[in-house]
Structure 1
Amino acid sequence: MHLFRLDASIRVAGSVSRALADTAEQAWLAEHHDAVVTRRELGLEPLPADAWARAVRAQLDPSAPPAPDAKELVERLSAELLEADAYIFAIPLYNWGVPAHVKTWIDLVSLNPRFGGAGDRPLAGRPAVLTLSRGGGYGPGAPKEGWDHNGPYLRRILGEVLHLDVHVAEAELTLADVNPAMAPLRGLAADLLKAGHEHAATHGRRIAELARA
């Protein structure tokens, strides 16, 4: 069995999205002891920000310089997805949206004509865990309700563009312990984090079962 894991946090210590993904991965490995795990470290090793623009320009503009490195990168990123049986994506909310380095990855992967609505959907139905972290509160009635432009976007990309079977584990109010203004929310934040890890473990076991089926 083969697991693909993508991490987008720019932190290692203290990263909640990584911690939730660790829980999901451990649950996966408990079912598949000899599994291969391919890691794509976007947060610490971001992809070239101009790769997508150069690749597309080379396709559309005859006067543009060729971009063989960008084409090779698209092929490599696509292969990482195609070779896996299941997936874990660990992506925090940054500035109310999808991290820039994740958007670069999505843009490059989307250059593969096999992915998306016009392709043959090679990843359709493969199981994935998406772990999300949010420093504040974005639920109904919260001051920032509707400001989370990361989770909804990722659900659509992974579920409706790549056609993965996506299971979400998430935690918010993750800055409560370090932000004095959020001190009254620390109990709730702890409860949400605990629930996030419980969901991550459940989903890790679930995608292990689905990948084996």
Structure 2
Amino acid sequence: MATLLHLDSAVFPQGSASRDVTAAFVAAWREQHPDGQVVYRDLAADPLPHLDASAISAGADDALRGELAAELANADAVLIGAPMYNFSIPSTLKAWLDQVIIVGHNAAPGGPVTGTPFTVVASRGGSYASGTPRADFEFVQNYLEKVLTGLLGAEVDFIVPELTLAHSKPEMAELVPLADASRTQAFTDAKEKAKALAARLAA
């Protein structure tokens, strides 16, 4: 029985592209694993405290950090909704990362998270793809890929719904068809990646 750890971090509970796509991923995952477990944390609704000196000193012996680290270690796969806020990840997601990554415990070669597949839904209001004017402002995929692979030894895959503000900003009206195509592709990717990952873990 596979366990999926699902984290959402978008501020708004409705109308969030990252939440919509992670929900589609979970639905497809459950189809493959009807008896499986999904552990869910809404980091916006129930934010974690910022890391402090006592928690750093205690490491995995800190009650909260130990709980989060165990939750992560017990997951067969991880799904993260990570919308772009001010060119980077939400502060609530950063707080989770700071709490859960413990040097010498799971941030170590061959640690308990090594090889765990992470799927990140990195939504953004505009486009930051290679070759676009703001490509250099992309610090969501760049950061998460480095921290998750470099510290935890995880495998990381991204689903990227772009131009999510096109329908609400008149100056982006000409980009609506591209936004719709990106959203459709994100849902397709979520369903296909969830099914493929579920099948891989069941093998």
TM-score past 0.5 threshold? yes
Indicate whether 1:80 and 2:71 are aligned. yes
User: How do 1:159-170 and structure 2 match up within 5 A?
Assistant: 159-170=149-160
CA offsets per residue over residues 102-130 of structure 1, 9 Å max, x none?
Answer: 111111112252222x3432122222211
Q: How many residues align?
A: 201
Give secondary structure in 1 for the equivalent of 2:137: coil
Q: What CA deviation, in whole Å up to 9, does each residue of 1:64-98 have, x standing for no partner?
A: xxx79x91110010111111111111110100012
Partner of 2:6: 5
Q: Which residue of 2 aligns with 1:102?
A: 93
Q: What corresponds to 1:152 in structure 2?
A: 142
Match of 2:31, as an amino acid? A
Give the distance between the partners of 2:153 and 2:190, measured in 1 at CA: 20
- The whole-number CA distance in structure 2 between the counterparts of 1:125 and 1:210 is 13
Q: CA deviation at 1:18?
A: 0.8
Q: Which runs of structure 2 are paired with 1:60-209 in the superposition (5 Å)?
A: 71-111=62-102, 113-116=104-107, 118-209=108-199
Q: CA RMSD in A?
A: 1.8
Distance 1:7 1:25 in 2: 12
Offset at 1:142? 2.5
* 1:52 paired residue number: 52
Residue by residue, what CA displacement relative to the aligned partner does 1:175-202 show, whole Å, maximum 9, x if unpaired? 0000111111001100011111111111
Q: Output the amino acid matched with 1:101.
A: T
In 2, the alpha carbon distance for the partners of 1:102 and 1:2 equals 20
SS at the partner of 2:158?
strand
1:12-51 matches, within 5 Å, as: 12-49=13-50, 51=51
Q: Which runs of 5+ in 1 are unaligned?
A: 60-66
- Higher Cα radius of gyration: 1
Identity of aligned residues (%): 33
